[in-house]
Amino acid sequence: MIDKGPNTDNMICLITGGTSGIGAAAARQLACLGTTVIIVGRNVKKCVHQVKRIKHSNPDARVDFLLADLSSQRQVRQLAREFTSRYSHLDVLINNAGAIFTKRAVSVDGLEMTFALNHLGYFLLTNLLLDRLKASTSARIINVSSSAHIQGKMNFEDLQSEHSYNCIQAYAQSKLANLLFTYALARRLEGTHVTVNALHPGIVATNFGSNDNWLKTKLRNILKRKMISPEEGAKTMVYIATSPDVECITGNYFYDCKVIRSSEESYNITNAEKLWLLSESLTGFHLESNRRDGSS
């Protein structure tokens, strides 16, 4: 169990993908530490179930939920509006929601689903909530990536996989994008009290891939000997969110509660800036212009 930090009782944490797997496990652990936890999920019944589960084991827990499908930019924006209408600040944002799709699918915005959910969801929600994060005395952004990023390559010539689709390559690219985004944002937030880090949770025995039963079975058969529990997988996430040791650490990649080096490609600043500009274009969010006009 991670030790309770001195300020966890006053912390507000928003966690996406909080209805199952490591997201739900992290929500439970954070609530036990006294943190106010807001779970984000797509399904109201699953959200209610997780809130009740936390309350059952910890009646004094401060936990709520917000609904959003993070592959939809309209719903991401609505989520940000709902959060800002309820809370004056945000101490911890955990971008955790993600999926893998065996067949190419497109989001309601016409974008390849893996890229839309796993990367653009992180990018847009984080930028929309930056003002609330900066209103905290010390805020932390946590992006859940994966060791799969090592196999990733940013295919800027076919970013949406329109000409050729491979689910593993699309997923690896999205996880690499998480790291490029993390490091680019850390550079932009230098001199502020907002840190941003990424992590690999380990190979976790969750319902990941459950949107495709064949994939779920195949992944479990391949990886079952290496799998850890959701509670174990959530430890690094909770550590980065609460540990005083991480307070001033930013722009890093964690595994097993330790900073490790990510792939060489993840440190490619040229690709990171190219991805940032493309992400601004695809979401219609431009950080500097929003700073000037105060819009979201």
Q: Catalytic positions, please? A: 171
Non-local CB neighbours of 149 within 8 Å, separated by 6+ positions:
172, 175, 176, 178, 179, 262, 263, 266
The DSSP symbol for 229 reads -
Can you say whether the dihedral through the CA atoms of 281, 284, 285, 291 is positive or negative? positive
Three-class DSSP category at 65: strand
Q: What are 94's two structure tokens?
A: 């955990």
Exposure class string for 172-211: b at 16+ Cβ within 10 A, else e:
bbbbbbbbbbbbbbbebbeeeebbbbbbbbbbbbbebbee
- Rg value, the chain, Cα: 18
Put the strands of the sheet holding 253-255 in their side by side order.
63-67, 36-41, 12-16, 92-95, 139-144, 194-200, 253-255, 258-260
Contact (CB, 8 A) for 14 and 139: no
Determine the Cα–Cα distance for residues 134 and 294; give it in Å rounded to an integer: 14
Q: What are 79's two structure tokens?
A: 């989520």
